[in-house]
Structure 1
Amino acid sequence: MRSQILAALLGSVVLVTGALAQGAAPAETKSKTDDLEKLQAFKSTGTAPAPEIPQTGRRADAIRKTLAKIKLPEGFKIDLYAVVPDARAIAVGPNAGVLFVGTRKSKIYTVTDRDKDRVADEVRAFAPGIDFKIPNGVCFSKDGVLTVVEQNRVLAFPAAEFFYENPDVAAGIVVKQGELIPPGEESYNHTARVCRVGPDGKTYIALGQPYNVPPADKLDLYAKTGIGGIIRLDADGKNREVFATGIRNSVGIDFAADKSLWFTDNQVDGMGDDTPPGELNRATKAGENFGFPWYGGGSVRTTEYKDQTPPAGTVAPLAELPPHAADLGLIVYNGKQFPKTYRGGLFIAEHGSWNRSEPVGARIMFASLGADGKVAAVKPFAEGWLTKDGEYLGRPVDVAMLLDGSLLVSDDTAGAIYRISYEGDAQ
């Protein structure tokens, strides 16, 4: 169904761009906007292939030296999978395991392991003719459609794993530029979107709000548009609705086997080193409110809204996370490579604090679940990127699962993707 919707979307685009082509601008005034129009119409842009990112040399050697300091549970090991500049959100192709890696800048990278030795052979920019703006959010549908969520636009790339090596790729606009959020709400703060395709086939997108704590006169607009929440829409961009509200800035969402949506939330700054906590939340149905801005994190009330009554039925987090650790990407682990104690639990990437007198974070955490589905414990799984002297040797951003069940970790400071594998008995 999703493929059929996107085929219709792309087909309608062909008709529109075909009409535009009759009055097309001369070649000498060609822009990247023109390139996107051509790609929608399945026409060549003449864009040259992007250069390869070197995978050997001093930078790779330095990253491997850092990885030797990372502590993991017994039986696990961590290796450099790829050098990827500014690496953020990771989408793993469902067919060949090609990685598509978003950034907070202007590029998406493809990462290819051709010989399947679990080390990347080639890293290049994806669709170099497209003018991306903060293309942080990347996610795949089961039938191989890649969705890219920028700051204020959503694009789709059918069969991306099979077309990505050519600079010209099939492309469709799901949400036009300036229509994901009102243009007047664009900001330099909390602009990194994330996405997941849900079990219902809809695309779920987290929209961080730009303030530390938003003013009251913004709340109605944000509730209506889904800013400071999670929205969902059909594959072709239709039937948009606000799925969840009361979220400050989530940069990690994933679905569990029971179809519930888990997500991290970064909480209010400037309230002290040890307050408020970060949040690990679970949405079980549409329409839930998770408490922000009345709550700054957990049960801690914000100064700005402490005298106001929170909305009825506000959903509390299932776990409070270390204050200011900047919990970003997460996945519900459904692989089989790791021991059974990890299956169904959640891996969470801590980016690390920026506003604490003593830094905290820069780890991969693991949240185990009890028989009741609630969080039993949250403990460090991989740590060592933050030294005792408070220096960041790396800052994890996202976690993803490779097709073999190993864990991938992105790091936008080191500019790398790591692979954590298990060598013991997984039974």
Structure 2
Amino acid sequence: MHRYGRTGLASAFLLAIAGTPSLAQSDLEKLSAFQSTGTADFTYIEQGGPKAEAIKRTLERITLPEGFSIDLYAIVPDARHMAVGPQGIVTFVGTRKTEVWSVTDRDKDRVADEVKNFAPSLAKAIPNGPCFSPDGHLYIAEQNRVVWYPAAEFFYESPDVAAFAVVKQGELIPPEEESYNHTARVCRVGPDGKLYVSLGQPFNVPAQEKLDLYREWGIGGIIRINTDGTGREVYTYGIRNSVGHDFHPETGELWFTDNQVDGMGDDIPPGELNRQTAPGQHFGFPWYGGGSVRTNEYQDSEPPADVVFPAVETVAHAADLGMTFYTGNMFPEKYRNAIFSAQHGSWNRTTPVGARVMVTFIDEEGNATMEPFAEGWIDENGEYLGRPVDVAQLRDGSLLVSDDLAGAVYRISYSAME
């Protein structure tokens, strides 16, 4: 159940009225009390011009299965993970900087009409991970807090929005563990109604003296909490830096990507797509750098018992990031309940790889097979023309793909061939 229940925001208003405002309120405290901050201005992003034309030329290079097409949906600076509003009004796009962007297609021509910053009155730190609950509550996982925005699809038109801390600043991880590295969080609301948040650990391979602290907090794992911030527990152990997870629509199992150890060579270790079947499972890091490849730092240390190895081993350094299960009706039936995921591409490889969208098919026994779906963002010179980050589904069954290099969101649609 959400912090103030599912009967609406009435009790939240009562709590706000009952409180006595502090003379030195922060902007978040003001927004939690439904008070104005005095902020009036938005930053709007131009949606046409030379930049849009250059991106469209790049998209002409992208190859897809027959019947599929890709188009520019929106210019969105630093576009990272996305959350599509359940009402289909607005899509929120996080960044690794300080902004979350609201992207609106008002005339429903499947091209965004407006992109502006969301909740500009509230300062944000690496607000990479927005996610929605089925009943329209938006959560944003930042570097070291999680903020709840009830009725975000309604309030986003104002610079001031209703906002509440689910996890207060400095309480997602110990403040002394804050890092510029591997702190792009993602979140999902699971079938159990709980909020699942990934906590990447900051090192390539952490020192052994960090492991007890990290295990306690779930750093290098995925935690789950009630949507009011209570009941925190570590759900997933032994991952390096997961920046994409979702729940199987039928089984409810958690699947997630993981980025593996750098500096071991061009072709090892493999990246990972993982399947979690029970709480508390351990996925091998830092004893394993990816798949069954042992790390040099822990090769003489005994791994935990019952390590779960990947459902799919992916190309080394392709940097598998955001993912989503496909539940729409637009694509052919074979894609139903398949995983679409983004390979961002890594800095740590002589010849670039990744920069594409993958699709993973899962059979009735849970066996998974991954193959390329959309590719062509690496040119003949080995240069990145785009770097996909996340995949999200619109209500019409088409897919959005974010790209933080091009600063864009694309739309992939399907039309049956006659």
**What is the aligned residue count?**
415
Distance 1:305 1:123 in 2: 47
Q: Where do residues 236-385 of structure 1 align in structure 2 (5 Å cutoff)?
A: 236-257=228-249, 258-375=251-368, 377-385=369-377
Are the counterparts in 2 of residues 49 and 166 from structure 1 also a CA contact under 8 Å? no
- TM-superposed CA distance for 1:8, in Å, is 9.0
- Structure 1 residue identity aligned to 2:235: F
The verdict on how the C-alpha distance between 1:154 and 1:185 changes in structure 2, with shifts beyond 3 A counting, is same
Are the counterparts in 1 of residues 137 and 151 from structure 2 also a CA contact under 8 Å? yes
- Structure 1 residue identity aligned to 2:291: G
- TM-superposed CA distance for 1:44, in Å, is 1.5
The verdict on how the C-alpha distance between 1:137 and 1:10 changes in structure 2, with shifts beyond 3 A counting, is farther
Q: Where do residues 1-400 of structure 1 align in structure 2 (5 Å cutoff)?
A: 1-2=1-2, 4-5=4-5, 10=12, 14=16, 18-21=19-22, 24-25=23-24, 34-257=26-249, 258-375=251-368, 377-400=369-392
Structure 1 runs of 4+ aligned residues shifted over 2 Å read 1-16, 18-21
Q: Which runs of 5+ in 1 are unaligned?
A: 26-32
* SS across alignment from 1:60: helix
- Structure 2 residue identity aligned to 1:360: V
Are the counterparts in 2 of residues 339 and 425 from structure 1 also a CA contact under 8 Å? no
Distance 2:87 2:292 in 1: 43
Are the counterparts in 2 of residues 324 and 352 from structure 1 also a CA contact under 8 Å? yes
Share of identical aligned residues, percent? 64
- Structure 2 residue identity aligned to 1:94: P
| TM-score (normalised: structure 1) | 0.94
- TM-superposed CA distance for 1:14, in Å, is 2.5
- Structure 2 residue identity aligned to 1:79: D
- Structure 2 residue identity aligned to 1:401: Q
Deviation per CA, 1:206-245: give whole Å up to 9, x if none.
0000010011001011111000000000011000000010
Are the counterparts in 1 of residues 3 and 228 from structure 2 also a CA contact under 8 Å? no
* SS across alignment from 1:19: coil
| TM-score (normalised: structure 2) | 0.96
Distance 2:201 2:26 in 1: 31
Distance 1:182 1:5 in 2: 29
Deviation per CA, 1:84-116: give whole Å up to 9, x if none.
000000000001241000000000000000010
Question: Which residue of the partner structure matches residue 408 of structure 1?
Answer: 400
- Structure 2 residue identity aligned to 1:2: H
- TM-superposed CA distance for 1:64, in Å, is 0.6
- Structure 2 residue identity aligned to 1:371: E
Distance 1:236 1:71 in 2: 44
Distance 1:12 1:316 in 2: 49
Are the counterparts in 1 of residues 89 and 106 from structure 2 also a CA contact under 8 Å? no
Once structures 1 and 2 are overlaid, which stretch shifts more, 228-237 or 363-372? 363-372
The verdict on how the C-alpha distance between 1:302 and 1:13 changes in structure 2, with shifts beyond 3 A counting, is farther
- TM-superposed CA distance for 1:259, in Å, is 0.6
The verdict on how the C-alpha distance between 1:425 and 1:10 changes in structure 2, with shifts beyond 3 A counting, is farther
Distance 1:116 1:162 in 2: 18
- TM-superposed CA distance for 1:344, in Å, is 1.0
* SS across alignment from 1:64: helix
Deviation per CA, 1:71-96: give whole Å up to 9, x if none.
11110000000000000000000012
Distance 1:351 1:151 in 2: 20
* SS across alignment from 1:220: helix
Distance 1:133 1:148 in 2: 11
Are the counterparts in 2 of residues 349 and 365 from structure 1 also a CA contact under 8 Å? yes
